A and B are shown apart, each in its own frame.
Chain A
Amino acid sequence: EIVLTQSPGTLSLSPGERATLSCRASRSVSSGYLAWYQQKPGQPPRLVIYGASSRATGIPDRFRGSGSGTDFTLTISRLEPEDFAVYYCQQYGSSSWTFGQGTKVEIK
């Protein structure tokens, strides 16, 4: 199965700053089947990005996904207070879906 490695583990930033999250796959993710989810404490995950770069319904345009093959990035252009959360990448292109271990975006 494809192993996804996210970095950094924790990102300490202030509101208004730019966040850059990385997700690296152990082998190529077919057809860009890469998603990003946001999870806040006590809540289920929420789909943010799918197909590597398409925003899910209701997701503001400060969220941008990019990448292909084995390297993917989630960028939040200007952090809002509600963006502080844990973010997971997920590949869904192989017969066994997998998640990365998560990146926590915390308030500095």
Chain B
Amino acid sequence: GENVGLHLPTLSVQEGDNSIINCAYSNSASDYFIWYKQESGKGPQFIIDIRSNMDKRQGQRVTVLLNKTVKHLSLQIAATQPGDSAVYFCAESSRRSIRQLTFGSGTQLTVLP
């Protein structure tokens, strides 16, 4: 499948600050995007998703922004907490491959006290 990659492999933020994690994708047919959080030694957990007919979606302390023009996805975490420290993956799928998600390499978020 086509590559879904992340701009930065690591990100360190101070507790209480906002975090922004970026993701670029190359498959122009991608129409569904998910952010996952993976804590050490565990499976990924769903955070938030967005479909291509939207450009913004908000959850609890998280916001996902989608810019289809430049094929860019971002995850914003408000008031970052120590428990937010984890690896964050973006994943995409398209109607051409409805049964599989393509994952990026991940960004390690570290929250500093």
Partners in one complex: no
Interface residues of A, Cβ cutoff 8 Å to B: none
